[in-house]
């Protein structure tokens, strides 16, 4: 099995993916392993006990008390920063336990909270803990705890506008986190892109291939009106609805908005287009004209019944 490191945060990789699954050409660099800090692998070992996790975190705190200048060093086989295990470990996922007291102690050493583990920031890692493991094992971590953790991280300097945060939060189905980030005025302007990509993927999984700039195929049109798709649509459109409680349509990323329009034209999803129209799409003259032009190209029968 070939696993790419490009799309997984490092900590998530070692929690979710067996080491033997990695190709040699994707080997991870090795950093200094100090005797005074635990082997970081214990934090991502699905068989680790809560006691082992707690003991390891206390070892890191002792190390930082003696070496506060090393708070941003990369250590161990996985080149983890000392702060990462406090907010991302197997105990949080399996037992649903977040030790905020230890996290607060670690934050006193003022770690940089905008580092990346391959692609993910601390906020992103926190959201990803809500996801089930590939085995199907669900996370026991509550979204309320993740929201509390995200607020704490932002308060201590984490960038809520990091470009990967939205994809992590949306991918983890962290709607409550999404709402919280919007209330912080975080940039969620690519939400339409996230939803549209998800729609296309869902359609493909169900045997409906959506093509750009071509007349709708019957299978896609039927699927776009199915109960299965509409249930999926209602679950996802709430992110867009929530965005518009804080922002206007003109603040949506233009490319993402057009991708959303074309995706729903390819499905002949009149509900999505009607939603856009009700929220002022035709006040954006170029986007309204884009919709008119594309609706004719796709031959979206239900959409063309709408007035725009």
pLDDT confidence of residue 67: 94
Average pLDDT, the chain: 87
Bridge partners for 75 per DSSP: 32, 80
pLDDT confidence of residue 117: 66
Whole-angstrom CA distances from 112 to 34, 68, 84, 162 are: 21, 12, 11, 14
Q: Give dist(CA 308, CA 288) in Å, integer.
A: 8
pLDDT confidence of residue 3: 32
How many residues belong to the chain? 308
Among candidate residues 178, 200, 201, 204, the one with its CA nearest the CA of residue 191: 178
Per-residue pLDDT reduced to its tens digit, 138-159: 899 999 999 999 999 999 999 9
pLDDT confidence of residue 29: 57
Bridge partners for 117 per DSSP: 120
pLDDT confidence of residue 269: 98
Task: Name the packing angle between helices 227-246 and 191-205 (round to 10°).
Answer: 170
Q: Give dist(CA 105, CA 108) in Å, integer.
A: 5
Would you give the DSSP letter of residue 32?
A: B
What average pLDDT does this structure show over 159-185? 93
Among candidate residues 144, 147, 134, 195, the one with its CA nearest the CA of residue 167: 195
Query: Residue 305: what are its φ and ψ, rounded to 5°?
Result: -75, -20
Q: Give dist(CA 197, CA 194) in Å, integer.
A: 5
Among candidate residues 226, 233, 194, 193, the one with its CA nearest the CA of residue 207: 226
Tell whether the model's pLDDT for residue 182 goes beyond 90.
yes
What ranges in the chain are assigned the alpha helix state H? 10-16, 50-66, 84-87, 90-95, 100-107, 122-128, 143-155, 165-171, 175-183, 191-205, 218-224, 227-246, 254-266, 270-278, 285-298, 301-304
Give the range among 111-125, 240-254, 275-289 with minimum mean pLDDT. 111-125
pTM attached to this predicted model? 0.84
Tell whether the model's pLDDT for residue 209 goes beyond 80.
yes
Q: Give dist(CA 96, CA 91) in Å, integer.
A: 7
- Taking the domains of the chain in order of start, what are their residue ranges? 10-184, 190-305
Q: Let me know: does 194 contact 239? Beta carbons within 8 Å.
A: yes
């Amino acid at each position: 099995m070939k696993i790419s490191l490009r799309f997984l945060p490092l900590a998530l990789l070692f929690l979710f993916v067996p080491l033997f699954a990695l190709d040699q050409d994707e080997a991870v660099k090795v950093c200094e392993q100090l005797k005074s800090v635990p082997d970081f692998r214990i934090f991502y070992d699905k068989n680790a006990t809560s006691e082992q996790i707690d003991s390891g975190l206390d070892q890191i705190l002792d190390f930082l008390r003696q070496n506060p200048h090393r708070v941003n060093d990369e250590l161990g086989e996985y080149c983890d920063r000392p702060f990462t295990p406090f907010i991302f470990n197997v105990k949080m996922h399996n037992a649903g336990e977040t030790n905020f007291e230890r996290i607060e102690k670690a934050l006193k050493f003022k770690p940089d909270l905008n580092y990346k583990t391959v692609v993910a920031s601390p906020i992103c890692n926190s959201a990803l803990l809500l996801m089930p493991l590939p085995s199907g094992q669900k996370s026991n971590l509550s979204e309320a705890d993740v929201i509390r953790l995200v607020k704490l991280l932002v308060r201590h300097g984490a960038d809520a506008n990091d470009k990967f945060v939205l994809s992590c939060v949306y991918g983890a189905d962290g709607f409550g986190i999404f709402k919280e980030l919007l209330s912080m005025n975080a940039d969620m302007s690519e939400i339409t892109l996230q939803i549209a990509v998800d729609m296309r993927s869902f359609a493909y999984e169900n045997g409906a291939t959506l093509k750009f700039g071509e007349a709708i195929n019957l299978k896609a049109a039927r699927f776009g009106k199915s109960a299965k798709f509409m249930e999926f649509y209602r679950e996802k459109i709430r992110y867009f609805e929530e965005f518009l409680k804080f922002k206007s349509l003109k603040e949506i990323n233009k490319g993402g908005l057009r991708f959303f329009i074309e995706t729903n034209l390819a499905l002949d999803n009149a509900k999505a287009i009607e939603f856009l129209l009700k929220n002022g799409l035709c006040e954006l003259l170029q986007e309204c004209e884009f919709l008119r032009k594309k609706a004719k190209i796709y031959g979206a029968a239900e959409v063309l019944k709408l007035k725009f």
